[in-house]
Structure 1
């Protein structure tokens, strides 16, 4: 009889313990793997144990225990012989690091087990444990552990230990190129058009992996079965979810369901179709079916997808790829934190969003790890002298603490994700990051799809990436929303006054509107959507330029300039921006008014000039700078207004008499009216005075609103004009800037710091927050 996972609220049944335990992330993964060992590999519960103390092994400062230990037989376990497999489990969305492999391998060494497994369910790796090498040498990764029936077969064990695993990342990257070539060869499409079709199929595969309960699965066998039913005119009753529509083949039906799945992201046009032959489609399905993109590790599929992108998008599409060294530097400088909302309104292939996601994810994982170590350290202080019963109780309490700190497993089903977002409740901090903190848009539909898929490959399939003009609002992308914006906007293009907001720019889906109003607040969301107002009577909307101060005032229509204002508008007060800009924006005389406007809205916190050859491989020849701004806080904005008002009053009083005299002469009529030449001179004199007043006012304000602006220039930024790796002086700038930023408190970082201590007087564990708030933990 199959073993089933038994979950009861916050408890999970552990058959190897014979009782319910707190359902922590690790515990759930452990029990799932035990179920797999029984149902898939045929092991009996009687030949396994969990949390086995390993003599001599240390986990941090406490006594170590292996999560799961498996013996060759029940008799071997009873007679305390060496086990065959040691398993180490991690929470589902905690990335398994190299130190985890070494730690688990050491457990296996102490137990003299030939197989070591580490798993977080998403990623499972199996190693052979080589006792003949030093403990710091990681053993080779192999394909699988033995089934129970082969556990005592030395020949089969030896064969398994010799089956080392090929480097999966390169294998997956090559497979993507093979799929791409199938389309190019069979369907004679351009590289870019072929990529579009690969993208559609990858989205189909993701869609089916997200809905595993459906009968239809993404395999060639299933496709051919449903295709045969279609040819025989066999139609399921429920057309929408269980079978093809009457008028389209099954290949197209799969894509229709996929378009429904990603409708909110507006990644596909409603009339978009699959544009390859059925034979090509089937060949690609056959190649992809061996991979489960939902469980393949993020480092494997993410890097593989990036390799595929780099080898596919060249020439005209190079503009969408910001060099990795620049991306890393901008993210490191801005140092995004947990719970901060992040956006790139010109996201291209998603490089900034992926780096920011991974950066914050790593912070969360490291914080979780540190907190767990503190908990374990505090409990280890009393566990040494506690009875076995007390130790079990202590373990339960420590798990409960971790549970309450928010280290629960991720939500997996999309329906639960939707419900969690709407109720603003999340099972884990990582789910919150993935579901509500990452947003992006791109006006190019191909790149919007690429960014979305790129993020899925890197572990975040929930980010709010949309096909949209980055200057326009959508979903959660609207004014005063973001803590951090990172972007590389298009250079040199112009937005003309004739570009109007259209009806197509408006959201008309009532369900989505209701959902967004619930998520962001009805008043806030309705105000954000006023940007897209459309005059039904005149059948036209306002010019896109009129949505921005710079556009309305006719100061500039350059995209790079417009996007600076757009990004500042998107930021919350005190929010920070890192943007790649052509140096002309910083020093061209005709953009002086533009710079003055930005000075009145935000602080410049760093300018770094980079060499011209950084973007040459992408086809750009303009020398660029990396500009970092911090939007005024409300206090700073009020201060700027106050200084401006005071300066204006002071300067006006200085020139008012002279201006009044000029104005009185210009208003004379009849015989007293000055001739045209004198009027021209008077107007020129008035303009000169007004310009001088403006300079004086600005000088006074800037003297009062004074702050340092760090400026740096690097000769080498990690990449040459041909794309080759060079020295990276940006790292040196970062080493100097980070201490400067922290010491000058450019933005606040408030983090609760917990300590866990044993109070010998009360006999209780206490959790101390920020060294001033003590909570006694009862047991």
Structure 2
């Protein structure tokens, strides 16, 4: 869903809350950096200014001054003074450093920041012998912090962040531009993850009142920082020599190393709401290098939601057969430890119990060798759970696994399984013996990876064991995947949770559902459901905010509702299982009543009756048929007859794209008398990447066209419709465009493979009809007037196009 801050090429300024003009510079640099300054560096909004722009003067007589993008102030003896000048550019701009230096010369600020959304440079103004010089620094101060205090952080000073991915992107930009020897993304990723492990280790084993080792002071040399980080990494290698070996080294040059440490040092990675290892992979490796293997990491808030609902117990054995960097296993371990913290008072006993849980209860399998190493290291640092992580192909025959794996992981032996398996049409599983293990493998030559993982997860569980898994939405409604739903209904469906389409964007476009299933158990009477409309970030992976500045994330509220910590249940509800299974639709938002109640309230206030399209069909008020089909690709643009696609339905009219005209022979092949268009037919988009619900009215000049099958034709039987409901074609066009109708689309449009599709659920749409007949007549007259004028204009345009000789004398 679109960020609330962006409407009609406008942005809402993060500081003032006022609408401002959207520009690449504003969107990519100014607004994101304001959030970083406020959220990660603690500057109050009253000490930040971007709109209106603060101006620095070149001299006392300079009346106008130079506008700066972001002014950061500090309060000294109750007086507000300029502390930092920030110069922002859009992503493809590299200039501005000299401009920033000029601004610093004109003002009292001593620190300057240059930022273009992906790269940053921090500089310090120094006066030497009457001259002003500039030096680059590795970090800039937080609120109420001096330059000399940077990097001297106690463990308790570290704070979590919502902007981790943005920080990683900034680090990547600086490394690529400045690092010597390490500048390929895959190489950078491995270096970064080793550094992240250093930071996790430092956070884990540094006492709250002690200074952390993962730090970089402004007054330290590059070598001093390097020596301390090398020493920290050596400690990890020595302590965990069975996970990290001598060949694992941090090879960033000293300047780059100090820069990276400087940008991460004040953040608490272990408490942030993002998976730091997963985010590092997403930022540094990118889709081109890992997308073919489906290695997309589950956001930590979604992981936490699943773990909280399943609520592991210390007696449970837990496995993730596609564990990646161990996000589910780490969160499960933290959940269990939190329980122990509340139940075991003796510190030594509690520590021993925590260690035992990590060693005995946690298992993971990962196919990628580097991810396995990362997962082992992560689990080791947290609680010595490294022995339970194995590098294997989970889908392989268990007898072909390594001996150690076979001794530790057996089918039908686990209580809980968590999984976000790889998915994608390009990831195929082959091998006759391998595929023979799975009842869900309908194609005996190659298998769908996510379907097979679903079955493998259940094979790993004991009877009564519980599976929490993320699967593409298409499994929960599409006719082509009915066999999967039939498989699911052999078990107890406990929970279905709708998560936003943006959850895995921008790296993966899949819209997914969380399923919690109990193996070989009778179906419970009610299926629990939840709908999360927002999960903290937009389609670009950037944090999104409410007007009050809080992150738009529904998952914590869902957890509170599940735990009974709220009186009102906004996102969670239950539906009778037999109704869900009978509908063959296992998608929560389809059953979510909040939208229906909202619509009913609007209808009541506006004095409207709500009538379904199915009712109009049943009463012979409207008839319908699908579009004609698609012409051969090579014939598009080769004729004079319009081919109308989804994108051609706009503003109640049909656009005839000259590049899509087809020959008469192709028209004859696709046309049928049963689908002959008539003036005043209504065209409705029912499938496509966008514009589902868009409508247009067929004009007398539009009847001789071919429609794609994604367009539905609705025809009003005026005599019957007018008699029963006062309905006219013009009113139906209006009603199908009404906000009440559009609100219903959100819960009825599902992702079918890759494209949104409303299928036959369009018949369930309820259209508003005024109880006051005179109001309906008035609307019909207005629409008829607008359409008549529109058609008249198009007739003039067509005449001019067909007689272009009038322009010549």
TM-score (norm 2): 0.38
Q: Going by fraction, where is helix more abundant, 1 or 2? A: 1
TM-score (norm 1): 0.39
